[in-house]
Amino acid sequence: MTAEPSRGWQARDLAITGAMVALLEISKRALDMLPNIELITFLFIMFTLYYGKKTLAAALAFATFECVYFGFGPWTVTYYYVWPVLILLVLVSKKRGRTGVWYYALLSGFYGLFFGYLCSLYTLVLSGPKVQFAWWVAGIPYDITHCIGNLVICLVLFRPFSALFGRLRSQGLL
Amino acid sequence: MEKKSNTLKIVSAILVLAIAIGALVLVFQKNRPAASEGTKAYTLTVVDDQGTEKAYSGKTDAEFLSDLMDELAAAGDFSYEGSKSDYGLYIEAVNGLRADYDADGAYWSIYVNGEYGQYGADAQPVADGDAYSLVYEVYQAGEEAAN
């Protein structure tokens, strides 16, 4: 896993970002019937490891796509910070030389466990700490599912996707 | 040596994650919204093919008997299966006991306050103090002719 070459935005970045958003959306729709079992966390980790900080553009495009699809509301603000937070965590980890499958599996597990808390932050601003706490507590069972799902998905898929993304990079496609 | 240290770090991180999950479970159990008690008292008695009775009682806000049955099923000590038809909900099994009319004329009947129910479970209104029974019965050939 080498550092991505430092370069400005090029036309191919738009194509890569579009492909990433398409993959995110397809994986999301495919697993929609399983509450909080998702590939988005895993994909953002992999994209960030191999595509670096430019993945933030994909996160913002994905958030906007979700808003268009599900409609705009006070909650939509969460879409714009939950994934960038994950990307920043991965960027920091990458900078510190973290490359192991267990590291990222545990990171995605913790991220899933506190995903609900992260999402509840908008209610803190809108309605205060009591509402935020109740909102967060009600979702804890889903956060635990999210945590275990993320952990297992990353453990299973990290190595095959690393091999795939490594090959794409060596061919100059990523 | 480094491999051992890595393993130790992974095991420690897994432990921290397990402790965090445990802490969240405790937070959830201490703070989850309490189920509000309903306002209508009821008893529901299940009579199986051996004539053994199992009774449930409590208070509910359920509008129809099927809603009450769903509440009981969600609580865990009761289960039922049924299918929707043009005539309403047809109860096929209660507490794991299936009544197969095609095989032996068996069916689940509904009694309301001791009287044979006039509605399906999804159309039977729940009223305060009502006593419902779900009874496993078998249609005997010639029963109607005798009556």
Minimum distance, in Å, between the CA of residue B28 and any CA atom of chain A:
6
- Which CATH number characterizes residue A37's domain? 1.10.1760
Report yes or no: B10 at the A interface, CB cutoff 8 Å: yes
Angle CA(B49)–CA(B53)–CA(B55) in degrees, nearest 5? 140
**In this structure, is residue A136 part of a structural domain?**
yes
Q: Which residues does A4 contact at the CB level (< 8 Å), separation at least 6?
A: A50, A51, A52, A54
- The pLDDT-based confidence of B146 (bands split at 50, 70, 90) is very low
Contact A48, A8 (CB under 8 A): no
B105-128: b (≥16 Cβ within 10 Å) or e: ebbbebebeeeebeebbbebebee
Looking at the 3D structure of chain A, how many domains does it have? 1
Task: Indicate if the pLDDT at residue A81 is higher than 90.
Answer: yes
d(CA A32, CA A49): 25
How high is the ipTM of this complex? 0.84
Q: Which residues of A touch B20 (CB under 8 A)?
A: 110, 113
pLDDT, mean of residues A60-68: 92
Task: Give the model confidence (pLDDT) of B4-32 as tens digits.
Answer: 788 898 999 999 999 999 999 999 988 87
Task: Give the model confidence (pLDDT) of B104-127 as tens digits.
Answer: 899 999 999 988 888 889 888 999
**In this structure, is residue A26 part of a structural domain?**
yes
Contact B132, B45 (CB under 8 A): yes
Report yes or no: B29 at the A interface, CB cutoff 8 Å: no
Kindly determine whether residue A110 and residue B21, on different chains, have CB atoms separated by under 8 Å: no
Q: Is the pTM of this model over 0.80?
A: no
Residue B24, token pair as written in the block? 């969240």
**In this structure, is residue A1 part of a structural domain?**
no
Task: Give the model confidence (pLDDT) of B49-104 as tens digits.
Answer: 999 999 998 889 899 999 999 999 988 889 999 988 767 788 999 999 999 988 88
- The pLDDT-based confidence of A74 (bands split at 50, 70, 90) is confident
User: What range does the domain containing A50 cover?
Assistant: 12-170
- Return the pLDDT at A25: 94
